[in-house]
């Protein structure tokens, strides 16, 4: 129960109004960062990743922004439903997510059956779709896809870099940022 309370206390977008005026590219970059963070947890702290995926997949429809849901859920919802939330954004850009692969990976993670290669391929697909996100996220994606080959110091550096990127763009309030802080201390 402590885990859920901590997640509820930290939110990137507590209300839908907080999204207003942002570009779709900014939302796509936040989504990419959050998926990278969840991949790190799936590799390093499977229990936390499983609880996060379980909480998120309680409402797996991704059909509406929910203040009670996790940041990653709401980011996916915003990208998947441009016809519903497009009025909020500074541009009218749309993205195509590999929705079935994303759902399959999240459901597998919820069961504890995480496949890093499948997740990494999904991230590569997103990288090809999100053409305007910063190149340093692509570098992190490559490093995280080979997580088991990284040394302890390299893992700590990757987590630290991702936290810096999230913090720089106002993502300190993200529920996954808070979890990354705890992970960073244990690495």
| pLDDT at 9 exceeding the cut of 50 | no
Residue 183 CA, chain-centre distance (Å), reads 16
Angle at CA 140, nearest 5°, toward 24 and 70?
50
For all residues of the chain together, what is the average pLDDT?
Answer: 89
| pLDDT at 173 exceeding the cut of 50 | yes
- For residues 22-33, average pLDDT: 93
Q: Is 20 helix (H, G, I), strand (E, B) or coil?
A: coil
Q: Which residue has the higher pLDDT, 178 or 114?
A: 114
At 168, is the pLDDT very low, low, confident or very high (cuts 50, 70, 90)? Answer: confident
**Stated pTM of the model:** 0.91
Domain residue limits, the chain: 2-186
| pLDDT at 1 exceeding the cut of 80 | no
- For residues 97-107, average pLDDT: 95
CB 3 within 8 A of CB 51: yes
| pLDDT at 169 exceeding the cut of 80 | no
- Cα separation, 20 vs 90, in Å, equals 8
């Amino acid at each position: 129960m402590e885990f859920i309370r901590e997640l509820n206390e930290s939110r990137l977008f507590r209300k839908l109004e907080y999204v207003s005026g942002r570009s779709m590219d900014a939302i796509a970059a936040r989504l990419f960062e959050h998926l990278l963070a969840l991949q790190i947890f799936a590799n390093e702290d499977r229990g936390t990743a499983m609880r996060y995926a379980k909480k998120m997949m309680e409402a797996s429809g991704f059909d509406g922004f929910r203040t009670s849901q996790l940041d990653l859920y709401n980011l996916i919802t915003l990208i998947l439903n441009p016809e519903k939330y497009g009025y909020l954004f500074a541009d009218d850009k749309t993205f195509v997510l590999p929705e079935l692969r994303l759902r399959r990976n999240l459901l597998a993670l919820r069961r504890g059956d995480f496949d890093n290669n499948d997740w990494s391929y999904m991230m590569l697909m997103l990288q090809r779709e999100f053409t305007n996100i910063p190149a340093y996220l692509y570098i992190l994606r490559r490093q995280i896809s080979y997580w088991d080959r990284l040394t302890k110091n390299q893992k700590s550096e990757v987590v630290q870099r991702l936290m810096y990127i999230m913090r720089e763009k106002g993502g300190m309030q993200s529920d996954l940022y808070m979890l990354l802080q705890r992970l960073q201390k244990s690495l």
